């Protein structure tokens, strides 16, 4: 336990949440540094949540210039020309986020983080990326894993009424309450690359169809060189063809990745605000748990589909990391 | 999901939100982002510092202002072209009547108390407007959908009532810290600082007829020429020493229980107190008055020793009498009153010490005494998302897909968000069902007053009842009643045989009982059959 006490200001502001996770967890949060890349609606929600929670700092990366397209699901962007004209997403979101909690350091980092060295990532306790290509996801995940310090790694993607979240806490030790006692636990996580390499036929039969559907689209974007999120209903035939190939390779029946599901994902490419709030909330909780070292973390995928209303956890890991 | 039908259903919808707090802020934001253009929002509260960890539409500079109004202003900043109508008002006000509710396509609750939820439930039923209910505590939350006739109403399943404790547990045999808190808050604090005319159980079992010359009422009054330290010691010795000794004298009570120890001030503080409390108070304004500050106790998370608790007891007592004299006799416990919290914490801890119950920090004591609900932003955000999804289904009349959704802290069968189909209405729900209620009344002894207080108000929760027997109104509560009617109703309350049967041989009476504002019973139930226990009534 660190020697520093929470200030009077912190105790007053964080009273209600300290009653949830305790003063010790709050102290750890206040010393944590979070890197966030890809500022669409879901990630905006997540940033709001962790800024309110009182993390030490949030570093935002997104050099895309704000356009009318960015507005719909992102409440951090105020639609006044003066506010966003010419600015990047990171800059605009930074200004808004600072207002939520003056005690949190919110800053902007420019450039393509996949070109940054491993030392850059050492500054952080958690890295969250979104709107990233498959290649970039794997690369950043690897950089986090190369460090001697444990850096938690998360990705999120939301398409229409669906959302997916991935967690890699590497070799994770934490404490939790069992009955009246506090016990120590340990979980090993696979990297993103390891997880998605698990042969589909090796997965439990009831695995969420959304997992497979997202992999198909991800692969399609990778193979076709598309920007993340740019695949649309116009690509339907190409996507279905890829599905067929992948299912054959994996000995998976094509009905496990229904047409209707893929079509939904290709039609509603924009984020749906209620799903952003839900995924951003779950992600916020997970990061808070990982930093405070308290409570069962999610392993390792989370899926939500507004169509059936289920929010479920899937453990996609090879035999060595299966819990 | 982004179909034309959906977009136009959302655009044209008129939505009522009740509550602009934890869930409300998240909900208003998500509704606005989702394309809703006509939102009304009711909230009677003003903004406090402890809200700011999750009610993100508010800033430090907004503390003291209306939640509904500030929430509206904040959302208009990123959605300037939509209409948000705020009401800084209590949802139970009469202007929010059935006609008001009928204007809306759906009502979304973000409330934190059962009473308001029941009220809104009944009005939605009367207006036949769909209601989406929700609640959160820490990491848990749920969203439920209620449509008249199709699903359960909010009251179909009994909701747990707030916990109460037996009087003797509080006054004589506490076994948990919460019992000590209730004693310190509702008895001691109330006795010393509250309305002296109110009944108080503090000395109920403690003063036997051993010393008749000592009037128990006078014990708590300051005596002539007594300085504050003497007064403080005398009170301390009375409640923690004398009262315990008196309780101990009753052997029966302690046969199967651990005996408490009496604690006297001379044992904890042999010397004069004023020397030890040398530190001057930080500020001279009422807000700064704090025993902790005065004693140099910095951390509300620390568990104080018996001596420290006793110091806080004296110092808070002293500060009340020297700095807040005017308020004494009118105070009720308020969790945001630092000095009151300090006093109650100290008193509860000394009592706990006496009874061998573990002591607690001020932080913990405040939570218990103030019934503070622990809350975080993330759960509220998740629940708000789920509410909007249900609201959209309601607008599309997508009734096969309505769901009650539970947000769990630990997954159940891989599910963290668990949807369940809504249940059908409970046929014996007195709020929404068609079945008449049956009550048995002893007509020789029961007054109308008993019926009104115990059944109508307490059990049925009707605050503004109108009771008719046959075609006459025998009792009603409401605004704008004429004085002579009020007098007649008051007289009726004392009557025993308060029903006037039309025919002498009937054994059951049809009585119309409806609540003027809530319309329970007016359209559906309407008739309560009373079965009389005494057959002699009709001879």
Among the partner residues B32, B376, B388, nearest to A20 by beta-carbon distance: B376
B319–chain A Cβ distance below 8 A for any pair? no
Which mean pLDDT values do the consecutive 10-residue runs of chain B (539 residues) have?
Answer: 81 97 96 97 94 94 96 95 96 91 97 91 93 94 94 87 85 94 94 85 54 56 81 92 90 88 87 53 59 90 94 93 90 93 97 96 95 90 97 95 94 92 87 67 72 77 68 73 84 73 44 43 34 28
Tokens of A197: 């390499």
Tell whether A207 and A126 lie within a shared domain.
no
User: Which tokens belong to A322?
Assistant: 């299966």
The helix/strand/coil state of B511 is strand
User: Residue B26's pLDDT is what?
Assistant: 97
Contacts of A52 in chain B (CB under 8 A): 53-54, 56, 377
Decide which of A230, A251, A267 is a domain's last residue.
A267
> pLDDT tens digits, residue range A232-244?
999 999 999 999 9
Residues B359 and B506 in one domain: no
pLDDT of A57: 97
Cα(B323)–Cα(B301) distance, integer angstroms: 26
Q: What is the CATH number of the domain that holds A288?
A: 3.40.50.720
In chain B, which residue's Cα lies nearest the Cα of A278? B382
Residues of A whose CB is below 8 A from B21: none
What total number of domains does chain B contain?
3
Paired tokens of B387: 């509410």
> Is the pLDDT confidence value at A65 over 60?
yes
Same structural domain, A113 and A33: yes
Give, to the nearest 10 degrees, the angle between helix B338-354 and helix B362-369: 100
Which pLDDT score, from 0 to 100, does residue B468 have? 67
From the list B239, B210, B104, B181, the residue with the least C-alpha distance to B364 is B181
Angle of the B4-11 helix axis to the B377-395 helix axis, nearest 10: 110
Selecting from B34, B298, B416 the residue whose C-beta is nearest the C-beta of A274 gives: B34
Mark whether B168 is an active-site residue: yes
Same domain, yes or no: A107 and A218:
no
- B396 at interface of A, judged by CB pairs closer than 8 A: no
Is there a domain that residue B434 lies in?
no
Distance CA B424, CA B444 (A): 40
Helix residue spans in chain A (DSSP H): 8-13, 15-30, 41-53, 81-84, 89-100, 118-121, 134-146, 192-197, 209-224, 236-250, 259-267, 273-292
Whether B134 and B24 share a structural domain:
yes
CA pseudo-torsion sign A288, A289, A291, A297: negative
What the block records as the tokens of B326 is 């005017």
What integer pLDDT is reported at residue B477 of this predicted model? Answer: 77
Domains in chain A: how many in total? 2
- Tell me, yes or no, whether B305 and B328 share the same domain: yes
Is residue B347 situated within a structural domain?
yes
Q: Is residue B353 part of a domain?
A: yes
If asked whether residues A155 and A237 sit together in one domain, one would say no
Which runs of consecutive H residues, i.e. helices, occur in B285-409?
291-295, 306-323, 338-354, 362-369, 377-395
Q: How many beta-carbon pairs below 8 A join chains A and B?
A: 164
Q: What is the mean pLDDT of chain A?
A: 91
Tell me, yes or no, whether B433 lies in a domain: no
pTM: 0.85
Please report whether residue A3 resides in a domain.
Answer: no
Do residue B85 and residue B125 come from a single domain? Answer: yes
A290 touches chain B (CB under 8 A): no
> Is the CB of B367 less than 8 angstroms away from the CB of A13?
no
Scanning B195-326, the segments in alpha helix (DSSP H) are 228-236, 243-248, 265-268, 273-276, 291-295, 306-323
The reply to whether A179 and A258 lie within a common domain is: no
B386 contacts in A (CB within 8 Å)?
Answer: 274, 278, 309
User: Does one domain contain both B362 and B466?
Assistant: no
- In tens, the pLDDT along A141-192 reads 999 999 988 999 999 999 999 999 999 999 999 988 887 888 899 999 999 9
Binding-site sequence positions of B for Zn(2+): 153, 156, 429, 432
pLDDT at B211: 47
CB contacts under 8 A, A 201-260 vs B, are none
| Within a domain: A15 | yes
How do A57-61 and A105-108 pair as beta strands? parallel
Annotated binding residues of B: 19-24, 43, 51-54, 67, 112-117, 153, 156, 429, 432
Query: Cα-atom radius of gyration of chain B, to the nearest Å?
Result: 28
**Could you say which of A45, A52, A309 has the minimum Cβ distance to residue B403?**
A309
Q: Is there a domain that residue A322 lies in?
A: no
Considering the domain architecture, whether residues A97 and A14 belong to the same structural domain is answered as yes
**Exactly one of B168, B180, B261, B502 is catalytic; which is it?**
B168
pLDDT tens figures, B133-162 = 999 988 999 999 999 989 999 989 877 777
Nearest CB partner across the interface for A285, out of B60, B367, B378: B378
Residues B334 and B468 in one domain: no
- Could you tell me if B125 and B193 lie in one domain? no
Residues 99-128 of A with CB under 8 A from B: 99-100, 102
Quickly tell me which residue has 């009928």 as its tokens. B102
In a domain, B425, yes or no: no
Look at residue A114 and tell me whether its pLDDT is greater than 50: yes
Any A CB within 8 A of B326 CB: no
Whether residues A138 and A226 share a domain: the answer is: no
What six digits make up the tokens of B266? 């001379």
CB B281 within 8 A of CB B293: yes
Please indicate if any CB of chain A lies within 8 Å of the CB of B54.
Answer: yes
The confidence score (pLDDT) of residue B436 equals: 57
Same domain, B306 and B393: no
ipTM above 0.85, yes or no: yes
Per-residue burial over B367-399, b = 16 or more CB atoms within 10 Å of its CB, e = otherwise? bbbbeeebbbbbbbbbbbbbbbbbbbbbbeeee
Judge if A244 and A101 occupy the same domain: no
> Which residues of B are less than 8 Å from A273 in CB distance?
30, 33-34, 385, 388
pLDDT of residue B272: 65
| CATH number for the domain harbouring residue B447 | 3.10.290
Is B451 a domain residue? Answer: yes
- Please indicate, yes or no, if residue A232 is contained in any of the structural domains: yes
More confident residue, B512 or A85: A85
Res A31: pLDDT: 94
Contact predicate B130/B39, CB 8 Å: no
Residue B429 lies in a domain: no
Nearest CA in chain A to B23: A277
B318 and B190, same structural domain? yes
CATH of the domain at B121: 3.40.50.720
CA distances (Å), origin B362, targets A118, B177, B332 = 46, 12, 18
Widest CA span in chain A: 62
Q: Is residue B430 part of a domain?
A: no
pLDDT of res. A283:
97
Same domain, B154 and B174: no
Q: Tell me, what's the pLDDT at A178?
A: 80
Q: Do the Cβ atoms of A20 and B374 come within 8 Å?
A: yes
Angstrom distances, CA of residue B94 to CA of B33, B90, B100, B389, B464: 32, 9, 10, 31, 11
Closest CA to B521 of B426, B434, B428, B427: B434
Q: State the number of CA atoms in the 13 A half-sphere of B355 facing the CB.
A: 29
> Given this model, what pLDDT does residue B514 score?
46
Output the six-digit token pair for B97.
């009547």
Q: Is A276 on the interface with B (CB under 8 A)?
A: yes
Pairing of strands B527-532, B437-441: parallel
The helix/strand/coil state of B508 is: strand
Q: Residue B532: what pLDDT?
A: 32
Task: Report the 10 Å Cβ neighbour count for B519.
Answer: 17
DSSP-derived letter for residue B455 is I
Residue A149 belongs to a domain: yes
DSSP string, A126-193: EEEEES--HHHHHHHHHHHHHSSS--EEEEEEEEBTEEEEEEE-SEEEEEEEETTEEEEEEEE---HH
Residues B322 and B456 occupy one common structural domain: no
B208 and B132, same structural domain? no
Strand-pairing partners, residue B515, are B465
Q: For the beta carbon of residue A250, count every other beta carbon within 10 angstroms.
A: 16
Q: Which residues pair with A311 in a beta bridge?
A: A304, B417
User: Do B63 and B110 contact (CB within 8 A), yes or no?
Assistant: no
Do A122 and A171 have their domain in common? yes
My answer on whether A14 and A40 are in the same domain is yes
Residues A144 and A241 reside in one and the same domain: no
CB proximity B358 to A under 8 Å: no
Which residues, including other chains, have CB under 8 Å from residue A152's CB and lie 6 or more apart? Answer: A125, A126, A127, A144, A167, A168, A169, A170, A287, A290, A291
What is the full DSSP assignment across B115-155?
HHHHHHHHHHHHHT--EEEEEEETTEEEEEEE-TTTS--TT
Task: Tokens 């996507």: give the residue.
Answer: A239
Same domain, A286 and A261: no
Shortest alpha-carbon distance between residue A142 and chain B (Å) = 28
Residue ranges making up the domain that contains B411: 4-161+374-420
List of chain A residues whose C-beta atoms are within 8 Å of the C-beta of residue B2: 160, 267-268, 270, 272
Quote the domain boundaries for residue A260.
198-267
For the annotated binding site of B for ATP, the residues are 19-24, 43, 51-54, 67, 112-117
């Amino acid at each position: 336990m660190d020697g520093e006490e929470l200030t009077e200001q912190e105790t007053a502001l964080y009273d209600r949440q300290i009653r949830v996770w305790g003063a010790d967890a709050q102290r750890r949060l206040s010393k944590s540094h979070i890197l966030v890349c890809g500022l669409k609606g879901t990630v905006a929600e997540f940033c709001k949540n962790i800024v309110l929670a009182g993390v030490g700092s949030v570093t935002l990366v997104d050099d895309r210039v704000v356009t009318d397209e960015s507005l719909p699901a992102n409440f951090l962007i105020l639609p006044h020309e003066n506010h966003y004209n010419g600015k990047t997403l990171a800059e605009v979101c930074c200004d808004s986020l600072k207002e939520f909690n003056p005690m949190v350091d919110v800053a902007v980092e420019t450039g393509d983080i996949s070109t940054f060295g491993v030392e850059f990532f050492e500054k952080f306790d958690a890295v969250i990326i979104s709107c990233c290509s498959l290649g970039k996801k794997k690369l950043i995940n690897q950089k986090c894993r190369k460090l001697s310090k444990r850096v938690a790694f998360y990705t999120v993607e939301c398409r229409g009424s669906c959302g997916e979240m991935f967690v890699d806490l590497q070799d994770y030790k934490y404490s939790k309450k069992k009955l009246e006692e506090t016990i120590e636990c340990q979980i090993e996580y696979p990297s993103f690359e390891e997880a998605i390499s698990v042969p589909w036929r090796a997965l439990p039969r009831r695995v969420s169809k959304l997992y497979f559907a997202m992999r198909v689209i991800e692969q399609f974007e990778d193979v076709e060189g598309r920007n993340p999120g740019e695949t649309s209903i116009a690509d339907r035939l190409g996507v279905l063809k890829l599905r067929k190939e992948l299912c054959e390779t994996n000995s998976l029946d094509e009905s496990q990745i229904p047409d209707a599901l893929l079509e939904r994902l290709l039609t509603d490419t924009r984020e749906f605000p209620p799903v952003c709030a839900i995924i951003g909330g779950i992600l916020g909780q997970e990061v808070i748990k990982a930093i405070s070292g308290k409570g069962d973390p999610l392993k390792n995928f989370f899926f939500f589909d507004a169509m059936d209303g289920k929010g479920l956890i899937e453990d996609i890991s090879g035999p060595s990391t299966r819990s | 999901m982004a179909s034309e039908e959906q977009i136009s259903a959302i655009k044209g919808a008129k939505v009522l939100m009740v509550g602009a707090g934890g869930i409300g802020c998240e909900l208003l934001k998500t509704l606005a982002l989702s394309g809703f253009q006509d939102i009304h929002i009711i909230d009677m509260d003003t903004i406090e510092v402890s809200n700011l960890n999750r009610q993100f539409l508010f800033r430090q500079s907004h503390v003291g202002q209306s939640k509904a109004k500030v929430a509206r202003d904040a959302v208009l900043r990123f959605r300037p072209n939509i209409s948000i109508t705020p009401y800084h008002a209590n949802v139970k006000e009469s202007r929010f009547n059935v006609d008001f509710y009928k204007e809306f396509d759906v009502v979304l609750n973000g409330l934190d108390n059962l009473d308001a939820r029941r009220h809104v439930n009944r009005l939605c039923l009367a207006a036949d407007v769909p209601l989406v209910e929700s609640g959160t505590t820490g990491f848990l939350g749920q969203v439920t959908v209620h449509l008249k006739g199709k699903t359960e109403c909010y009251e179909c399943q009994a909701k747990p009532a707030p916990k109460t404790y037996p009087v003797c547990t509080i006054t004589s045999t506490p076994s948990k810290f919460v019992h000590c808190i209730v004693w310190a808050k509702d008895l001691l604090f109330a006795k010393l600082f509250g309305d002296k005319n109110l009944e108080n159980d503090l000395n109920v079992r403690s003063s036997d007829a051993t010393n008749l010359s000592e009037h128990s009422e006078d014990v708590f009054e300051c005596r002539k020429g007594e300085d504050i330290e003497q007064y403080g010691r005398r009170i301390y010795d009375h409640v923690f020493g004398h009262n315990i000794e008196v309780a101990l004298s009753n052997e029966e009570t302690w046969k199967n229980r651990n005996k408490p120890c009496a604690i006297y001030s001379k044992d904890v503080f042999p010397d004069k107190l004023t020397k030890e409390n040398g530190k001057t108070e930080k500020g001279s304004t009422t807000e700064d008055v704090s025993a902790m500050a005065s004693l140099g106790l910095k951390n509300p998370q620390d568990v104080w020793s018996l001596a420290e608790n006793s110091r806080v007891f004296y110092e808070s007592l002293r500060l009340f009498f020297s700095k807040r004299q005017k308020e004494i006799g009118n105070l009720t416990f308020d969790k945001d009153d630092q000095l009151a919290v300090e006093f109650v914490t100290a008193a509860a801890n000394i009592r706990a010490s006496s009874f061998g119950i573990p002591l607690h920090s001020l932080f913990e004591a405040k939570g218990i005494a103030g019934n503070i609900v622990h809350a975080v932003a993330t759960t509220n955000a998740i629940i708000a998302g789920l509410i909007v999804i249900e609201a959209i289904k309601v607008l599309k009349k997508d009734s096969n897909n309505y769901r009650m959704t539970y947000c769990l802290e630990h997954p159940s069968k891989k599910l963290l968000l668990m949807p369940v189909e809504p249940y059908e209405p409970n046929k014996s729900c007195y709020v929404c069902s068609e079945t008449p209620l049956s009550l048995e009344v002893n007509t020789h002894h029961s007054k109308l007053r008993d019926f009104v207080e115990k059944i109508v108000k307490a059990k049925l929760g009707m605050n503004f009842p109108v009771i008719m027997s046959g075609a006459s109104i025998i009792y009603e509560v409401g605004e704008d009643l004429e004085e002579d009617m009020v007098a007649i109703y008051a007289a009726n309350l004392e009557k025993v045989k308060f029903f006037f049967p039309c025919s002498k041989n009937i054994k059951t009476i049809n009585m119309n009982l409806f609540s003027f504002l809530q319309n329970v019973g007016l359209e559906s139930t309407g008739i309560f059959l009373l079965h009389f226990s005494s057959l002699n009534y009709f001879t």
